[in-house]
């Protein structure tokens, strides 16, 4: 049974007042600013009591309202444009959508509010840190690739206000977050977080390490295993060069589970595996994280590791469960360049919700 933590490192604070640069017909889906609250077009004000699907609709509507016509044309795509919608690309490449660098402050802020509405406070902090690392990487490279923390794109698929099925994605180097909404249901995968450099240190002490918990908890789990369980968990002496699922829009199915299963672990090992899965699920707001935990409860889960186990060496791990694939690698730049992804091979990009929706309609 997965045990989700309910505390977070960051507590969201209410807005201190309206931003004159934000259209007055929309409001951020969070605590309402001091009266008078600004109403949404459909009559609700975007409070924390709403479901996550309502909050996402409100935030996406606010984003589209903050764009001018040319920006909106670049940002919006048909929901049935599968080439644009079923897309994950965490390398610095061209991609569908409109770039934040081309937007005014109000639209950039609306994009961040959409992103924040889909993530837990701790995961949003990770996302912002990952975005900020583009400036650190640009400095380390001497600026020759002209990286910038505004080089992230937002795309909306369908109409968030009128359509029953719609979606959105925020994506750039080392960040890809896709949400698909069907009626009041949300499919929150895939979600990719990466970090280069994985750690910036001073005198051996970390200054920033956005994916530190993912690395540390995976290694701690490996270290708790008995010799027999460890022999099953370690699937290769060398780590692969990247996550296996890569940037493919469809994960190969069936993808055979590797490593050691949860029922072969000690109580301590099972508890740590539960914590590792919870760490990834809690990238989502509680409503989504709890739903995913209930879906996985009691199902078989496997853990696999490749590469050396000591810090600073290239390594990889993988967790597989019922329509769940978690991958972590730190295999480039001498073990200081990390990738993580949470995918649902059958449910990515709303595949499960759309299939259920089509069945109920026929």
352 domain residue, yes or no: no
- Residue 245: the pLDDT is 92
> Is residue 236 helix, strand or coil?
strand
- Residue 334: the pLDDT is 85
Residue 315, token pair as written in the block: 């390594």
Same domain, 309 and 277: yes
- Residue 41: the pLDDT is 35
> Is residue 90 helix, strand or coil?
coil
Same domain, 210 and 341: yes
For 248-337, strand residue ranges (E) read: 260-261, 302-306, 315-321, 324-330
**pLDDT truncated to tens, each residue of the chain (362 aa)?**
444 443 333 233 333 333 333 333 323 233 333 333 333 333 333 444 579 999 999 999 999 999 999 999 999 999 999 999 999 999 999 899 999 999 999 999 999 999 999 999 999 999 999 999 999 999 999 999 999 999 999 999 999 999 999 999 999 999 999 999 999 999 999 999 999 999 999 999 999 999 999 999 999 999 999 999 999 999 999 999 999 999 988 887 567 889 999 999 999 999 999 999 999 999 999 999 999 999 999 899 999 999 999 998 999 999 999 899 999 999 998 889 999 999 999 899 998 788 775 666 64
- Residue 44: the pLDDT is 31
- Residue 248: the pLDDT is 86
293 domain residue, yes or no: yes
Q: Tell me the residue range of the domain where 118 lies.
A: 74-195
Same domain, 105 and 182: yes
Tokens 């977050």, located at residue? 177
Same domain, 247 and 331: yes
Do 120 and 285 form a contact (C-beta atoms < 8 A)? Answer: yes
1 domain residue, yes or no: no
110 domain residue, yes or no: yes
Do 15 and 30 form a contact (C-beta atoms < 8 A)? Answer: yes
Same domain, 189 and 214: no
pTM greater than the 0.75 cutoff? yes
Same domain, 309 and 259: yes
- Residue 254: the pLDDT is 62
Distance CA 138, CA 131 (A): 12
Distance CA 330, CA 226 (A): 24
15 domain residue, yes or no: no
Same domain, 138 and 213: no
Same domain, 335 and 228: yes
10 domain residue, yes or no: no
Beta-carbon contacts of residue 304 (< 8 Å; ≥ 6 apart) = 233, 234, 235, 257, 258, 259, 260, 317, 318, 319, 320
Same domain, 87 and 118: yes
| Structural domain total, the chain | 2
End-of-domain residue from the set 156, 172, 195:
195
> Is residue 28 helix, strand or coil?
coil
41 domain residue, yes or no: no
Select from 243, 99, 83 the least CA-distant residue to 173.
99
């Amino acid at each position: 049974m997965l045990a989700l933590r309910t505390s977070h490192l960051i507590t969201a604070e209410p807005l201190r007042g309206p931003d004159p640069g934000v259209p007055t017909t929309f409001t951020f889906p969070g605590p309402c600013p001091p009266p008078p609250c600004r109403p949404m077009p459909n009559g609700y004000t975007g409070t924390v009591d709403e479901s996550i699907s309502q909050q996402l609709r409100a935030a996406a509507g606010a984003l589209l309202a903050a764009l001018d016509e040319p920006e909106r044309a670049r940002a919006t795509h048909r929901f049935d444009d599968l080439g644009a919608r079923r897309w994950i690309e965490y390398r610095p490449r061209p991609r569908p959508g409109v770039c934040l660098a081309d937007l005014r402050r109000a639209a950039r802020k609306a994009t961040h509010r959409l992103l924040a509405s889909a993530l837990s406070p701790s995961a949003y902090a990770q996302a912002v840190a990952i975005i900020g690392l583009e400036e650190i990487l640009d400095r380390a490279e001497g600026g020759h690739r002209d990286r910038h923390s505004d080089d992230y794109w937002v795309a909306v698929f369908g109409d968030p206000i009128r359509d029953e099925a719609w979606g959105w994605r925020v994506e750039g180097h080392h960040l890809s977050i896709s949400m698909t909404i069907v009626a009041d249901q949300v499919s929150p995968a895939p979600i990719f977080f990466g970090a280069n450099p994985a750690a910036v240190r001073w005198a051996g002490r970390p200054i920033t390490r956005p994916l530190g918990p993912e690395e540390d908890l995976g290694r701690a789990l490996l270290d708790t295993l008995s010799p027999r369980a460890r022999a099953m968990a370690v699937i290769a002496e060398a780590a692969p060069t990247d996550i296996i699922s890569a940037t493919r829009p469809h994960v190969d199915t069936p993808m055979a589970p590797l490593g050691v299963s949860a029922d072969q672990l000690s109580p301590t090992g099972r508890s740590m595996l539960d914590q590792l899965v919870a760490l990834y699920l809690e990238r989502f707001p509680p409503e989504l994280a709890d739903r995913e935990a209930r879906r996985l409860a009691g199902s078989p889960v496997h853990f696999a590791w490749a590469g050396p186990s000591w810090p600073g060496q290239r390594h990889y791990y993988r967790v597989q469960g019922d329509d769940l694939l978690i991958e972590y690698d730190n295999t480039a730049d001498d073990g200081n360049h990390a990738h993580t992804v949470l995918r649902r091979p059958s449910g990515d990009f709303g595949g499960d919700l759309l299939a259920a929706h089509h069945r109920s309609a026929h």
